Structure 1
């Protein structure tokens, strides 16, 4: 009897342990949530403000407001877990403008004696639209990109029509051999890699419209402060070869003191019409703040330091006798050391 009771008890326990549906395993005590679907479109939207617009070592003006979109499209997947061997199409579009039209190149006519004080305002507007696309291939140790950019320059700085309707005698619309900036096409070759904690990026940029080169090298590193805040110091140095920063040769000749350009006597040209040599060094301290999984706010402070070849490209009353005689001192802030700051909000879609 005891044996029969024991067998019945064991049978009851076995039945209780059997799953309700045959062939299925018991549900785990702590189920794992399914991975969310990847709905990332690979697009970044950016809105930014810079107290000065510094581009390749030249300070174009103050209070630059910009907006842009950029993204990447995977064309060929990499065989390695780290993505090595992949090829992507990178693209970007951006637009910016000088709020207040406070450029760095216009002489201060208002402070000069008559008749110079009647020659117009002391500022010029500037807007720039930039479009770009590149193929990038990940070789493992480095990523190499080959790309194209188009720059559409607008505003008084880019006026090439002769006379400026907003001011009879502004430097970028006088019809006096000084024709502002060209819309520019550019091709470039870039390479990026990492050496320990240091990220390195270099590029060679050829200006098809003005037949000049600009080379640059950037070194940066990222230091995590908290889970949401990082510190990113970076250093950039640029080298120019027959480069004009998209200004026409007449414009650059004027900046470098040529007599045949803006306000010149038209007798000879003492300045050059392009720049070759070390252009500028730039130090930036950025503090990316991750607001959520998709949005990042990046404030920064920076200093731009034109080097020998670029720092010598500056207007002066001594090199422009016509202006000097009227007590007009053209600004050289576009080619001098500039401290500036700003912030950018980036949202990933």
Structure 2
């Protein structure tokens, strides 16, 4: 009897205590999953093709194949909801090459003095490394950075120009470029305006640009981005050696116009185009584009016809790098 009484007492106590123990800590029938961790590394990889490689108003050649990596590392978070006050480190690594070596500088000389010929095509590759500190003030963002551009291939080392027996024909090619860049960007309604000032520490000379673009949403996945850019040079030489600048200047192997020998000064080119970014998924975007490049001022004055000689008695100028050109391309970018 005592045992039964004891068991009944324990059972009563257990029932009485159950609500107090299970109430506050009882499992929820449908628990809410925690938000996923942000696994975005802030890195974007890209592959692209351009029918012409146009850089700062100069058409270097046809069939440009490129790859790149770029990223942003947040150094200081902004206090405002729109990120204003934040400071980031921006970086990029880009590489490109002329597929088929179809450059727009090399002339097609045959029977040059001393024998031999100059090929009408030359290889060209470019590696660019850059880093910048960007600060967002809300209405305006500022950046200050440095980039190193390494030019390679026959176009960069002079190719056939330096291998033929023509008086004064040495020293052609391109130098590497080391530049400091100060940039600013702001939004005027739907239009994004940006501008930069670039000084070449190795070759000297300034290059300025101003750009505008806007994004027009067609669907949730497709947009149209019209854009325009205008360049201005001050003793700008794009890394070309003195010999190449003399040659481009139109004075043959002996000289060239002083405007080109000393670098380009004035408005360089107007570039306009349409991008058509297509969002494939949350991380990948395919972007076809079409564009038009119109050389201006000193660039247009440097343009040649296919029959204009590079030097007296040596006709056969190249498909010039300073003619107007319509071109197109496509790139695939993936964010990690």
* Residue equivalent to 1:144: 142
Q: Does 1:306 align with 2:304?
A: no
* Residue equivalent to 2:192: 199
Q: Deviations for 1:299-349, whole angstroms, at most 9, x for unmatched residues? A: 000001101221111346656443xx24x2212530010110001100001
Identify which of 270, 286, 309 aligns with 2:275: 286
* Residue equivalent to 1:128: 126
What is the correspondence of 1:85-164 to structure 2 with a 5 Å cutoff? Answer: 85-109=85-109, 118-159=116-157, 164=159
Aligned residues of 2:179 and 2:200 also touching (Cα < 8 A) = yes
Distance in 2 of aligned mates of 1:20 and 1:257: 94
Q: Deviations for 1:30-72, whole angstroms, at most 9, x for unmatched residues? A: x654321100000000101000000000000000000010001
Q: How many angstroms does 1:21 deviate by?
A: 2.6
Q: 1:318 to 1:239 in 2, by over 3 A?
A: same
Aligned residues of 1:230 and 1:288 also touching (Cα < 8 A) = yes
What is the correspondence of 1:154-233 to structure 2 with a 5 Å cutoff? Answer: 154-159=152-157, 164=159, 168-169=163-164, 176-233=169-226
| Structure 2 runs not aligned, ≥5 long | 1-18
Q: 1:194 to 1:210 in 2, by over 3 A?
A: same
Aligned residues of 2:101 and 2:122 also touching (Cα < 8 A) = yes
Distance in 2 of aligned mates of 1:170 and 1:301: 42
Aligned residues of 2:287 and 2:330 also touching (Cα < 8 A) = yes
Q: How many angstroms does 1:246 deviate by?
A: 1.0
Distance in 1 of aligned mates of 2:102 and 2:205: 27
Q: Does 1:342 align with 2:329?
A: yes
Q: How many angstroms does 1:179 deviate by?
A: 2.2
* Residue equivalent to 1:38: 38
Q: How many angstroms does 1:157 deviate by?
A: 1.0
Aligned residues of 2:162 and 2:170 also touching (Cα < 8 A) = no
**TM-score between the two structures when normalised by the length of structure 1:** 0.83
Distance in 2 of aligned mates of 1:235 and 1:96: 23
Q: Deviations for 1:54-99, whole angstroms, at most 9, x for unmatched residues? A: 0000000000000010001011111111111111000000110000
Q: 1:45 to 1:309 in 2, by over 3 A?
A: same
What is the correspondence of 1:322-337 to structure 2 with a 5 Å cutoff? Answer: 322=312, 325-326=313-314, 328-337=315-324
| Structure 1 runs not aligned, ≥5 long | 1-17
Distance in 2 of aligned mates of 1:41 and 1:185: 28
Q: 1:181 to 1:298 in 2, by over 3 A?
A: same
Q: How many angstroms does 1:115 deviate by?
A: 7.5
Q: Deviations for 1:196-239, whole angstroms, at most 9, x for unmatched residues? A: 00001100010111110010011000011111111100010000
What is the correspondence of 1:17-56 to structure 2 with a 5 Å cutoff? Answer: 21-23=22-24, 27=28, 32-56=32-56
Aligned residues of 1:257 and 1:314 also touching (Cα < 8 A) = no
CA RMSD of aligned residues (A): 2.7
* Residue equivalent to 1:8: none
Q: How many angstroms does 1:26 deviate by?
A: 8.5
Aligned residues of 1:255 and 1:315 also touching (Cα < 8 A) = no
1:102 match: secondary structure: strand
Q: 1:165 to 1:243 in 2, by over 3 A?
A: closer
Distance in 2 of aligned mates of 1:178 and 1:114: 18
Identify which of 247, 272, 285 aligns with 1:296: 285
Aligned residues of 1:19 and 1:26 also touching (Cα < 8 A) = no
Distance in 2 of aligned mates of 1:252 and 1:220: 33
